[in-house]
Amino acid sequence: MTMLKIALSAHILGFFQASLLLSCYASSTSQERISGSAGDVLEDDPVGRLKVFVYRLPARYNKRVLEKDQRCLTHMFATEIFVHQFLLKSPVRTLNPDEADWFYTPVYTTCDLTPNGLPLPFKSPRMMRSAIQYISTRWPYWNMTEGANHFFVVPHDFGACFHYQEENAIARGILPLLRRTTLVQTFGQRYHVCLKEGSIIVPPYAPPQKMETHLIPPDTPRSIFVYFRGLFYDKGNDPEGGYYARGARAAVWENFKDNPYFDISTDHPATYYEDMQRAIFCLCPLGWAPWSPRLVEGVIFGCIPVIIADDIVLPFADAIPWEEIGVFVEEKDVPNLDAILASIPPETILRKQRLLANPAMKQAMLFPQPAQSGDAFHQILNGLARKLPHDKSVFLQPGQTFLNWTEGPPGDLKPW
What residues are paired with 302 via a beta bridge?
A: none
- Structure confidence at residue 11 (pLDDT): 54
Q: Are residues 22 and 54 in the same domain?
A: no
Q: Are residues 130 and 31 in the same domain?
A: no
What is the domain range of residue 265? Answer: 13-37+208-363
- How far apart CA 247 and CA 240 sit, in angstroms, is 10
Name 23's Cβ contacts closer than 8 Å, sequence gap at least 6: 221, 222, 280, 349, 350, 353
- Structure confidence at residue 22 (pLDDT): 53
Q: Tell whether the model's pLDDT for residue 101 goes beyond 80.
A: yes
Does residue 321 have a cis bond before it (omega within 30 degrees)? Answer: no
Question: Is 7 a member of any domain?
Answer: no
- Structure confidence at residue 245 (pLDDT): 87
Q: Are residues 130 and 163 in the same domain?
A: yes
Name 109's Cβ contacts closer than 8 Å, sequence gap at least 6: 80, 121, 124, 127, 128, 154, 156, 162
- Structure confidence at residue 164 (pLDDT): 84
Question: Is 5 a member of any domain?
Answer: no
Furthest-apart CA atoms within the chain: distance in Å:
76
Q: Are residues 358 and 387 in the same domain?
A: no
CA angle 8, 13, 15 (to 5 degrees): 95
The number of domains in the chain is 2
Question: Is 6 a member of any domain?
Answer: no
Question: Is 397 a member of any domain?
Answer: no
Q: Look up the CATH number of the domain holding residue 316.
A: 3.40.50
Q: Are residues 218 and 355 in the same domain?
A: yes
Q: What does DSSP say about strands 200-202 and 224-229: parallel, antiparallel, or unpaired? A: unpaired
Mean pLDDT of 15-26: 53
Question: Is 197 a member of any domain?
Answer: yes
Q: What percent of the chain has pLDDT over 90?
A: 77
Cα 63 to chain centroid, rounded: 24
Q: What percent of the chain has pLDDT over 70?
A: 90
Question: Is 96 a member of any domain?
Answer: yes
Q: Tell whether the model's pLDDT for residue 36 goes beyond 90.
A: no
Q: Going edge to edge, which strands form the sheet with 150-153?
A: 52-54, 102-104, 150-153, 182-186, 200-202
Question: Is 173 a member of any domain?
Answer: yes
- Structure confidence at residue 237 (pLDDT): 75
- Structure confidence at residue 23 (pLDDT): 52
Q: Tell whether the model's pLDDT for residue 16 goes beyond 50.
A: yes
Q: Are residues 150 and 224 in the same domain?
A: no
Q: Are residues 107 and 21 in the same domain?
A: no
Q: Are residues 313 and 381 in the same domain?
A: no
Mean pLDDT of 335-360: 96
Q: Tell whether the model's pLDDT for residue 205 goes beyond 60.
A: yes
Residue environment code for 292-316, b if the CB has 16+ CB neighbours within 10 A, otherwise e: bbbbbbbbbbbbbbbbbbbebbbbb
pLDDT in tens, 283-324: 999 988 888 889 999 999 999 999 999 999 999 999 999 999
Q: Tell whether the model's pLDDT for residue 241 goes beyond 80.
A: no
Query: How big is the chain, counted in residues?
Result: 416
CA angle 137, 140, 142 (to 5 degrees): 85
Q: Are residues 346 and 230 in the same domain?
A: yes
Residue pair 283/259 in contact (Cβ under 8 Å)? The answer is no
Cα 9 to chain centroid, rounded: 34
Q: Are residues 113 and 136 in the same domain?
A: yes
Q: Are residues 189 and 93 in the same domain?
A: yes
Does residue 176 have a cis bond before it (omega within 30 degrees)? Answer: no
Question: Is 2 a member of any domain?
Answer: no
The pTM score is 0.91
Choose the weakest-confidence range: 80-94, 112-126, 139-153: 112-126
Q: Are residues 297 and 377 in the same domain?
A: no
